[in-house]
């Protein structure tokens, strides 16, 4: 009898242990089994979103081109997006756009003049960065007002903002390019010609204009963008349409990094400490010194991400490019019959997506 009772007790203990052995694992493995796929999916999505990419970036040697991109790069905002920048300097926007068409550059910063190539379908705007005031007409050899330009030798750079402000300024006093001796040359030659006195005026942009005004004894700043309400002067980041179609996700990452750079560096006009910091970033790219570039911080109205997003939502951005296009058409730089509407070359959806 005692043996029978002992056997029964042993059997109960075995069954009890077996029961513990089957329920305990269920309590410890059930949660991880449902969490693991979610964690794995999230990690995969994060990795895909930040897939490393190197971009060939075209820029011009001034504050307007670099204030945001140099800041974003230096502060690690592009690294956060898995983007490495390979920066290459150009003298003008049309050359940059040609480099994108050939595949040598991926994205580019352009000044106002080159935007006419957006109207013709050669490039698309994927970010409005600022509204500039860096273009001007400088009188030399006794030329002190626009009316004095009649019959005079004027240096300018065809296809750029230099040509835009020259034709607009001449028109404001009843003159045309046929009424002057217009000599097209690159930015470096403009500076040389002005300082040597071989021309009577130049249509130039910062920093070349600042150099001329500082080093010439008879240079007179006759007018700039702000003197002509119709002369809209956006500074934009552009891309080849075919490249944009294939790399929209990369452009959104680029814009996100730029938004952070813009939000930080836009204060450079009011905060001297930030101005000195940003000037250091710009100077590092240009292999120059901060004192040389910091004077350019007043060449434009530098936008923040919030301002850009509000301008997109209100339709103001498309209107800016429409007004600019109207000036191109009026000056004969763009054919109205074949010009694309701004809605067809301004990638507003990418600016909005990057802001979400």
Please list, in sequence order, all residues whose beta carbon lies within 8 angstroms of the beta carbon of residue 333, skipping any fewer than 6 positions away: 116, 163, 164, 167
| 66 pLDDT above the threshold of 80 | yes
Last residue of a domain, one of 200, 227, 254: 227
The DSSP string of 27-81 is: HHHHHHHHHHHHHHHHHHHHHHHT--EEEEEEEESSHHHHTTHHHHHHTTHHHHT
| 243 pLDDT above the threshold of 50 | yes
CA distances (Å), origin 16, targets 22, 23, 28, 121, 215: 10, 11, 19, 79, 97
Do 89 and 163 reside in the same domain of the chain? no
Do 302 and 281 reside in the same domain of the chain? yes
Work out the pLDDT band at 44, boundaries 50, 70, 90: very low
- pTM for this prediction: 0.72
Q: Which of 97, 132, 129 is nearest to 254 (CA)?
A: 129
Last residue of a domain, one of 206, 227, 248: 227
Q: What CATH number is given to the structural domain containing 219?
A: 3.40.190.10
Q: Note whether residue 298 is domain-resident.
A: yes
Q: Where are the beta strands (DSSP E) in 91-164?
A: 107-110, 124-132, 135-139, 153-156
Query: What is the Cα–Cα distance from 341 to 60, expressed in whole angstroms?
Result: 27
Do 240 and 215 reside in the same domain of the chain? no
Query: What is the Cα–Cα distance from 234 to 220, expressed in whole angstroms?
Result: 25
Do 84 and 189 reside in the same domain of the chain? no
Work out the pLDDT band at 43, boundaries 50, 70, 90: very low
Residue with structure tokens 């119709």? 230
Residue 22's pLDDT is what? 32
Work out the pLDDT band at 52, boundaries 50, 70, 90: very high
Work out the pLDDT band at 49, boundaries 50, 70, 90: low
Report the pLDDT averaged over residues 154-159: 92
Residue 295's pLDDT is what? 86
Query: What is the Cα–Cα distance from 56 to 100, expressed in whole angstroms?
Result: 9
Please list, in sequence order, all residues whose beta carbon lies within 8 angstroms of the beta carbon of residue 94, skipping any fewer than 6 positions away: 113, 114, 117, 159, 160
Is residue 13 within a helix (H) or strand (E), and if so which, with residue range? helix 2-49
Q: Which residues pair with 182 in a beta bridge?
A: 154
Total of domains in the chain? 2
Q: Which of 55, 8, 112 is nearest to 333 (CA)?
A: 112
Report the pLDDT averaged over residues 269-279: 95
Do 99 and 239 reside in the same domain of the chain? yes
Tell me whether residue 35 is exposed, middle or buried, using C-beta atoms within 10 angstroms of its C-beta: 0 to 12, 13 to 18, 19 or more. exposed
Do 127 and 248 reside in the same domain of the chain? yes
Query: What is the Cα–Cα distance from 70 to 77, expressed in whole angstroms?
Result: 10
Q: Which of 177, 206, 209, 184 is nearest to 195 (CA)?
A: 209
Q: Note whether residue 109 is domain-resident.
A: yes
What is the DSSP secondary structure assignment for residue 346, as one 8-state letter?
B
Residue 267's pLDDT is what? 95
| 1 pLDDT above the threshold of 80 | no
Q: What is the pLDDT of residues 79-134, one digit of tens each?
A: 999 999 999 999 999 999 999 999 999 999 998 889 999 999 999 999 999 998 77
Residue 81's pLDDT is what? 97
Do 208 and 315 reside in the same domain of the chain? no
Q: What is the pLDDT of residues 180-232, one digit of tens each?
A: 999 999 888 999 999 999 999 999 988 888 889 989 989 999 998 878 866 76
Do 240 and 126 reside in the same domain of the chain? yes
Residue 134's pLDDT is what? 76
CA distances (Å), origin 12, targets 6, 106, 225: 10, 76, 95
3-state DSSP assignment of residue 267: helix
Helix axes 305-314 and 316-330, enclosed angle (nearest 10):
80
Q: Where are the beta strands (DSSP E) in the chain?
A: 53-60, 83-90, 107-110, 124-132, 135-139, 153-156, 181-184, 201-205, 220-224, 234-239, 300-302
Residue 286's pLDDT is what? 95
Domain span at 263: 51-132+233-355
């Amino acid at each position: 009898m005692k043996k029978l009772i002992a056997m029964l007790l042993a059997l109960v203990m075995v069954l009890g242990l077996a029961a513990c052995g089957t329920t305990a694992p269920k309590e410890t493995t059930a949660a991880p089994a449902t969490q693991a796929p979610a964690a794995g999916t999230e990690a995969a999505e994060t990795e895909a979103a930040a897939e490393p990419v190197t971009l060939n970036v075209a820029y011009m040697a001034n504050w307007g081109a670099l204030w945001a991109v140099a800041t974003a790069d230096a502060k690690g905002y592009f690294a956060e997006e898995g983007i490495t920048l390979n920066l290459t300097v150009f003298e003008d926007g049309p050359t940059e756009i040609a480099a994108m068409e050939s595949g040598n550059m991926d994205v580019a910063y352009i000044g106002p003049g080159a935007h006419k190539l957006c109207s013709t379908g050669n490039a698309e705007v994927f970010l409005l960065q600022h509204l500039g005031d860096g273009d001007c007409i400088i009188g030399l050899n006794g030329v002190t007002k626009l009316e004095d330009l009649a019959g005079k030798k004027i240096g300018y750079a065809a296809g750029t903002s230099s040509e835009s402000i020259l034709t607009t300024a001449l028109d404001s006093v009843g003159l045309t390019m046929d009424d002057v001796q217009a000599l097209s040359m690159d930015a470096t030659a403009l500076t040389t010609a002005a300082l040597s006195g071989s021309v009577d005026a130049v249509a130039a942009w910062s920093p070349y204009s600042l150099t001329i005004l500082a080093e010439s004894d008879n240079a007179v700043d006759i007018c700039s963008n702000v003197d002509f309400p119709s002369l809209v002067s956006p500074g934009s980041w552009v891309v080849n349409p075919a490249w944009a179609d294939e790399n929209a996700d990369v452009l959104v990452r680029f814009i996100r990094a730029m938004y952070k750079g813009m939000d930080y560096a836009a204060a450079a006009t009011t905060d001297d400490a930030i101005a000195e910091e940003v000037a250091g970033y710009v100077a590092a790219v240009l292999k120059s010194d901060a004192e040389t570039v910091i004077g350019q911080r007043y060449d434009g109205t530098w936008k923040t991400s919030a301002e850009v997003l509000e301008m997109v939502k209100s339709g103001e951005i498309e209107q800016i490019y429409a007004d600019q296009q109207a000036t191109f058409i009026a000056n004969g730089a763009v054919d109205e019959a074949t010009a694309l509407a701004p809605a067809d070359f301004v990638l507003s959806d990418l600016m909005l997506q990057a802001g979400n």
